Amino acid sequence: MRKQKASGVITIYLTLTLSIMITLIVTTIEMARVSAAKAYSERVLQTAMESTLCDYYLPLFERYHVFGLDIGYGSSIADSNLLVDEIRKGIEVSFLPTKDDPLSNLLLQNKTYLICNPMLEELSVENIHYITDLDGEFFRKQATSYMKYQAAADGLEYLLDSAHALEKTEKANLKFEEKMKVEQEFMLIDKDILKLMELIDGIKIKDNQIECKKGKPKTLDSFTKKLLSTEPTMENTLINHSTIFDSLKGNYLNYPNQLNSLKDSAQDVMERYRTAYENAVRQREEALLSLRAERADMIKESKDKPCDTTKIDARITSLEQSPITIDIYVLDSLMASCNSINQKMNSFLNTLKEVKEKANQALSLVQKIKEARYKAQDSKNSFLDGLNKAREEIGDALYEELSKSSEEMERYSNPEEKGIGIIKDIVSMEETLKQDIKVLDEVERYLLPNMTYTEEGYAAWLSKVNLIHTSLDHFKLDGLAFDYSGVNFSEEKNSILKAGKSLISDGLLNLVLEDVNSISKAELYQLELPSFTAKKSPEKSSQAENNIKNIMNTEDREDITTTGIGSYGTDALGSFANSLVEELLFQAYENEHCTYYLSEGYKPGQVLQYELEYLLYGNMSDKENVSSFINRLILIRTIGNMISVLTDANKVREASEFAALVVGFSGLPFLISVVKYVVLFIWALEQSLVETAAMLLGKNVPIFSMKDDFVVEFKDLANFNKDGITKKAKDYKTKEGILSVGYKGYLQISLFFSNKNNQYYRMMDLIQENFRYEYEDTFRIRNCVVSYRAVAKVSMPEQFFSLPFAIHREALSIHGYLYLAQKAVSY
């Protein structure tokens, strides 16, 4: 019997196989659908975000060639929600292209066979970067990207040549700065020597020189060497200058004559007293004799009768017992004489106290000078070592000038050298001052009683006076000697120094501009400027002018906290700190978009006229910025001209001769040296004023003026004024074939060396304020977005069936699948 097989087995297996295949196919399709929807959503998000960037602030691009999306959208306050709304609109247009058609919308929702039907669930933006962020780097990158490299290359050679020339000047200034700092230390010693001379010899000092009247020095009543034991002579006063001695000789006090005169006066008082006393005794004896004779006559006349002599006896007894009395007028005269003696003696003692005070001050000053000599050794050694190493770098001419005072430095700083400046022997001077102070201390310890006309009073007084006299005999002047042989009393004093200080008293700007009132009066308001928000402070407007005034007053300073001319050069010239290419690119951008003081025409809709000057200084007004730059320009030119005059032997010689006349001493080399450098600085400054005035007329000047380029002569220094500056500036001619520069050139160099981050923000200040002035007051550049990131949560319905095993649980929603789309965009 044949066995039967079961039917339907193949059908079941085929069905199961088919089901598995269909499931696999549908799953693959569903997964592909999810992946496609996610990629599609990211592209839609990217497109929508890029569409928002297309809505950039058009005037910003058209005028300044940078992109920025103003998310204030007409308001002064940035609102990221408005940006989200714009992105949302772009996404929804792509997700539901016929959303506004109700019928089409219904069909789209009911046709479940559509491969993708995404829906935007949530949308947010983050990491928004504004054009003002990252210390201005976003703005700089756009600005430099706009500029062509050829534009930077065109100015590269000029800027580098100019920078190289200024760098050489700066190196020379550094050495001159060191020289000035060291010489100021020695100059303070010279100034202390002058004070010491006033304390010891009583010669009046004013403005670091002997104060004179009609060719004779003025003197003081109180000084250390006032006390003499004999009449004053040039020998015993140790004064080796006849004019000085003639002025001083009436101020000395011959103390033996003074004390002897007082003792003579006291002795005369006693003699008068003794005479008056003897007269009074004689008068009483005569009166007694008369009374006794009268009593005898009474008895004789009474004969044998009793005689009453009681009364006359009482009178005799009373007269015998009464003290000797001197006439009241005589006593008054004696008292007046004693008072006069006491007053004169007190005056003498006060003089001794003043002498002691001066001697103490002089001793302190001597010790200060000795200490300063020790301290100056390290500074001197450091400077001379550095100067020798830099000889090749700074050139022989400047090296020779800066090393001129090296021998004097060695002598001043050598503690074994007794002579210093005009002091003949500082060691002996210190010993003598100590001895004299000891003598005067001893005199003060004597308690001098008042002179009276009694024998006891006179004896006590005379004893103390003799002790004082004996002590003062030990008061010596040995060692208290100065060398006055190099003193002169020329009437030509300070003429150039006073003229220089007077010249700049009304401000430098007024000297180089014919009409200061022609300067623009335009101003900005600081409150909402990007630079103010970023805490970028304006530069100090008056710094350059203050530096010049400080240099002019170098010889008046009592410290060495400032370092002279060189440091001002370093500050003014700046330093190479940033990328050269980036600096040049951004500077080319500034030149294309900004005007400056000498611009021929100004663009419509600009708040400030001198925009490049604003980039440099950041002050709120055109006048502040242009005056600050002009002052800086004068200082930079003065620094270069100072190096030029220092290397010109003829100019240095003329300045040295004048400085010696001003100081009045050939024996104070460092005071003379500092005054010489101030005179040379005034010369360099006045040449710079002419050059700056010429540049303001549109002319070029050599970047480094040689001696033949100077149009200011020594004879002009004392009578220089605005009219002279203007005339010389109009006549100024630039030589051909030399590296020359004008106003804008120096402006470019200064911008090149100044802080770039400050310039980025100040450029944005100008952009904002110009647009607020020309277009809408609500514009704020801080609201301009340059990049941002958006995150979108997108859902899509399940088409065939859910894939919980393939999709993370967090990626499921009530609408089906949920996934994130993230993109970032930037200009």
Regarding predicted confidence, which is higher, 324 or 255? 255
Four-CA torsion 468, 428, 222, 205, nearest 10 degrees: 180
Q: How far apart are the first and last CA of the chain?
A: 90
| In the predicted structure, residue 626 carries a pLDDT above the cut 50 | yes
| In the predicted structure, residue 562 carries a pLDDT above the cut 60 | no
pLDDT value at residue 428: 96
Interatomic CA distance for residues 713 and 272, integer angstroms = 77
Interatomic CA distance for residues 123 and 107, integer angstroms = 26
Provide the pLDDT confidence category of residue 684 given band limits of 50, 70 and 90: very high
pLDDT value at residue 175: 86
Provide the pLDDT confidence category of residue 523 given band limits of 50, 70 and 90: very high
Provide the pLDDT confidence category of residue 561 given band limits of 50, 70 and 90: very low
Interatomic CA distance for residues 287 and 276, integer angstroms = 17
Kindly state the percentage of the chain with pLDDT values over 90: 53
C-beta separation of 544 from 634 below 8 A? yes
Provide the pLDDT confidence category of residue 574 given band limits of 50, 70 and 90: very low
| Number of other CB atoms surrounding residue 121 within 10 Å | 13
pLDDT value at residue 570: 40
Name the DSSP letter for residue 453.
S
Cα distances from 165 to residues 162, 392, 705, 770, 778, in angstroms, run: 5, 16, 11, 37, 47
Quote the mean pLDDT of the chain.
86
C-beta separation of 59 from 98 below 8 A? no
User: Longest Cα pair distance anywhere in the chain, in angstroms?
Assistant: 229
Interatomic CA distance for residues 455 and 29, integer angstroms = 143
C-beta separation of 118 from 796 below 8 A? yes
Long-range contacts of the stretch 157-161 (C-beta < 8 A, 24+) = 158/745, 159/584, 159/748, 159/749, 159/752, 161/739
Q: How many residues does the chain have?
A: 827
Per-residue three-class SS string for 788-810: EEEEEEEEECCCCCCCCCCCCHH
| In the predicted structure, residue 580 carries a pLDDT above the cut 90 | no
- pLDDT tens, position by position, 373-390: 999 999 999 999 999 998
pLDDT value at residue 104: 47
Calculate mean pLDDT across residues 350-354: 97
Interatomic CA distance for residues 762 and 764, integer angstroms = 5
- pLDDT tens, position by position, 41-87: 899 999 999 999 999 999 999 999 999 999 999 899 999 999 999 99
pLDDT value at residue 169: 78
**Which tokens in the block code for residue 595?**
């005007």
Q: Is 699 exposed, middle or buried (0-12, 13-18, 19+ CB in 10 A)?
A: middle
- CA atoms within 13 A of residue 675's CA, in its CB half-sphere: 31
**Stated pTM of the model:** 0.76
pLDDT value at residue 804: 53
User: Per-residue DSSP letters for 526-566?
Assistant: -TT-HHHHTT-PPPPTTHHHHHHHHHHTGGG-SS--S--HH
- pLDDT tens, position by position, 230-270: 999 999 999 999 999 999 999 999 999 999 999 999 999 99
Provide the pLDDT confidence category of residue 665 given band limits of 50, 70 and 90: confident
- pLDDT tens, position by position, 426-485: 999 999 999 999 999 999 999 899 999 999 999 999 999 999 999 999 999 999 999 998
- pLDDT tens, position by position, 125-178: 999 999 999 999 999 999 999 986 555 445 556 666 666 667 777 778 888 888
- CA atoms within 13 A of residue 797's CA, in its CB half-sphere: 11
| In the predicted structure, residue 28 carries a pLDDT above the cut 60 | yes
Interatomic CA distance for residues 12 and 14, integer angstroms = 5
C-beta separation of 40 from 785 below 8 A? no
Calculate mean pLDDT across residues 611-634: 94
Interatomic CA distance for residues 173 and 639, integer angstroms = 8
Q: In this structure, what are the phi and psi dihedrals at residue 786, rounded to the nearest 5 degrees?
A: -115, -20
C-beta separation of 88 from 774 below 8 A? no
CA nearest neighbour of 664 among 205, 300, 340: 205
pLDDT value at residue 572: 44
| In the predicted structure, residue 213 carries a pLDDT above the cut 90 | no
Amino acid at site 729: A
* 3-state DSSP assignment of residue 160: helix
C-beta separation of 726 from 693 below 8 A? yes
Q: Is 492 exposed, middle or buried (0-12, 13-18, 19+ CB in 10 A)?
A: exposed
Calculate mean pLDDT across residues 730-743: 84
Helix (H) or strand (E) holding 278: helix 255-302
Beta strand pairing call for 253-254 and 227-228: parallel
Q: 208 — alpha (psi -120 to 50), left (phi > 0) or beta? A: left
Q: 346 — alpha (psi -120 to 50), left (phi > 0) or beta? A: alpha
pLDDT value at residue 576: 42
Interatomic CA distance for residues 53 and 827, integer angstroms = 8
* 3-state DSSP assignment of residue 786: strand
Angle at 688 between CA 682 and CA 692, to 5 degrees: 150
pLDDT value at residue 111: 47
C-beta separation of 506 from 263 below 8 A? no
- pLDDT tens, position by position, 88-139: 998 888 887 655 555 445 545 544 334 667 888 899 999 999 999 999 999 9
CA nearest neighbour of 144 among 597, 746, 579, 573: 579
Regarding predicted confidence, which is higher, 556 or 294? 294
pLDDT value at residue 494: 67
pLDDT value at residue 764: 97
Calculate mean pLDDT across residues 784-789: 97
- pLDDT tens, position by position, 186-196: 999 999 999 99
The residues near 446 (Cβ < 8 Å, ≥ 6 apart) are 464, 467, 468, 471
| Number of other CB atoms surrounding residue 640 within 10 Å | 26
Provide the pLDDT confidence category of residue 490 given band limits of 50, 70 and 90: low
